[in-house]
Chain A
Amino acid sequence: MTLQSLDTPAVGSPPARALVARAGQGARSVAARYGVLASFLILWQVGSTVGWLNPTVFPPLDLILAALWDGLVSGALIDDIAISLQRSGLAFAAAVGLGIPLGLFMGQIRAVERALDPILQFFRQTSALALYPVFILLLGLGEASKVFVIFWATLFPILLATIGGVKEVDRKLIEMARTYGAARRTVFLRVVLPASVPSIFVGLRLSATTALLLLIAAEMIGANRGLGFQVMNAQYNFQIPLMFAAIFLLALLGLAANFTLVTLQRRLCRWADAS
């Protein structure tokens, strides 16, 4: 009878030396994790000021940060962030709202899944960007076509991951629930749905990345606001620090979206944690 991985070593009050050792260990682990990123940023800064890099293409980081600060304080970049978040958020929410329920349904009913799978595969393989002109023709050059192209691209990862999750639920667990007399609805709510959550999250994280990718592409074509537009616009006007500021914000947006989803997944799937 062993209980694996529950036992934690007993910790008494640590003497000062152990505390220092632990702090040193902590610093080392931070260095191991972020050291390369820090060196990259330092190299950029130094390289740009000393002249190893062309400062017109790669301005020093302090200039980029100053441009970022100005943009945020004046509110110009805040506007861009708001509209970009609105576009990608709306599209993502719509994809989640349609993709998860539809996926749960399709994954359960084999005939529906079999009938719809070929067309789904076909749509999925058609690049959303290639279809963007079609959406513009149909929906105009306004917000609708931008939101729709992002929605289109984000729907499929969510839908397919959800279908996959439902299909891969252990039949033996379903059979177990049935031997206790569980009705279809109970089996779905208590076995199929929780078992699909990890797979659904894989789809959500993939979709979140895709949403930002498509956002930038959509904003680079026929938009006059948004972070993607700002990247292009700053480049046209040769405001290179501002361009990098917008790129930096986009990266931050992606990190934030991923962080949110990972945190949510950790909370919902504590049972599946490796440690």
Chain B
Amino acid sequence: MRVVDTARRGEVTIRDLSKSFTLNGRRLDVLRGIDLDIRGGEAIAIVGPSGCGKTTLLRVLAGLEEPDRGDVLIDGAPVHGIGNQRAVIFQEPRLLPWLTVAQNVAFGLEVRGTPAARAADRARHYIRLVGLAGFEEAYPRQLSGGMAQRVGIARALTVQPEILLLDEPLGALDAMTKLTMQEELARIWREEGVTMILVTHDLEEAIFLADRVLVMSKDSASPTRLIELDLPRPRDRSTPAFVALRRRLMAEFGLH
């Protein structure tokens, strides 16, 4: 149950976004005039073959890369560089090994100038939310891959971003852990009401989590496509509608 916000919170607008890289003296157009409107609180998945620019798009949205052309607007205002409205969850947990779980989760807030005691309080709340209560004093090397990624998720949530940017967050996890974490992500997204932009190469994950899927292609001739996922939540992977959508999405990639 999400409260519909009258203020435009977590709304992302992408206008004619282009970015190219030069690789071995050859120009590589990674992003070619992308337009996209993401509603506040929406979950959108970006899928595509490797090299299609999905990670670049996410990095531009995060403010880690500047686009060559075009704009990113958040709640109607153009943004450049890194901002407080956004938090990034990477494929690797990227935890600081010398900090405990509690200190790692509080890190983002502390960096943003929140007093240590308040940051610790907030960290405790989100550690509980991701199901790691009792592990506050553990060091990252003592955690399994799934647990470490939960810590990374908690750290991002602690700063209470409007927009959560996820770059293949479950890509490095084993199949079992991945399924659990997908359900966790769906729950966290529902409870926190954030806009979620998820880059993934897992089509099933995209269908499980997203409201819409942006399909990017490597080929400059075929444009990006947006697919609406009209499935009731919580989603069940075995329903005919889910299976049909998966088949349709796979067909987009020329599979089957």
A125 at the interface (CB under 8 A from B): no
Tell whether, in the assembled complex, residue B144 and residue A194 are in contact, meaning their CB atoms are under 8 Å apart. no
Nearest-CB residue, chain A, relative to B139: A271
How far apart are B59's CB and chain A's nearest CB, in angstroms?
9
Tell whether, in the assembled complex, residue A4 and residue B142 are in contact, meaning their CB atoms are under 8 Å apart. yes
Chain B residues whose CB sits within 8 angstroms of the CB of A197 once the complex forms: 98
Task: Write the B50-77 contact mask toward A (1 if CB under 8 angstroms, else 0).
Answer: 0000000000001110000000000000
How far apart are B183's CB and chain A's nearest CB, in angstroms?
14
Tell whether, in the assembled complex, residue B142 and residue A6 are in contact, meaning their CB atoms are under 8 Å apart. yes
Given the interface pairs A1-B144, A175-B64, A181-B82, the reply to whether A186 lies near B135 with Cβ below 8 Å is no
Chain A residues whose CB sits within 8 angstroms of the CB of B87 once the complex forms: 179-180
Tell whether, in the assembled complex, residue A172 and residue B141 are in contact, meaning their CB atoms are under 8 Å apart. no
A176 at the interface (CB under 8 A from B): yes
CA gap between A173 and B63 in the complex, in Å:
16
- Give the total of B residues in contact with A, Cβ under 8 Å: 31
Tell whether, in the assembled complex, residue A173 and residue B94 are in contact, meaning their CB atoms are under 8 Å apart. yes
Given the interface pairs A178-B82, A179-B87, A190-B111, the reply to whether A172 lies near B94 with Cβ below 8 Å is yes
Q: Kindly state the interface size class of chain A when it binds its partner.
A: 20 to 34
How far apart are B18's CB and chain A's nearest CB, in angstroms?
23
Chain B residues whose CB sits within 8 angstroms of the CB of A179 once the complex forms: 62-64, 82, 86-88
Task: Write the A2-19 contact mask toward B (1 if CB under 8 angstroms, else 0).
Answer: 111110000000000000
Q: Per DSSP, are chain B's interface residues mostly helix, strand or loop, or mixed? A: loop
Tell whether, in the assembled complex, residue A191 and residue B159 are in contact, meaning their CB atoms are under 8 Å apart. no
B27 at the interface (CB under 8 A from A): no
Given the interface pairs A173-B94, A176-B94, A179-B88, the reply to whether A3 lies near B107 with Cβ below 8 Å is no
Nearest-CB residue, chain B, relative to A177: B111
Tell whether, in the assembled complex, residue B90 and residue A3 are in contact, meaning their CB atoms are under 8 Å apart. no
Tell whether, in the assembled complex, residue A176 and residue B90 are in contact, meaning their CB atoms are under 8 Å apart. yes
A50 at the interface (CB under 8 A from B): no
Of the residues B88, B107, B141, B146, contact of A1 by C-beta under 8 Å: B146
Would you list 11 pairs from A and B whose C-beta atoms are within 8 A, ordered by A residue?
A2-B144, A6-B142, A172-B90, A175-B64, A179-B62, A180-B111, A181-B111, A190-B107, A190-B111, A271-B140, A271-B141
Query: Measuring CB to CB, which residues of chain A are less than 8 angstroms from any residue of chain B?
Result: 1-6, 172-173, 175-182, 186, 190-191, 194-195, 197, 269, 271-272
* Closest 8 pairs (CB-CB, A-B): A176-B94, A180-B108, A271-B98, A180-B111, A179-B88, A182-B111, A194-B98, A271-B139
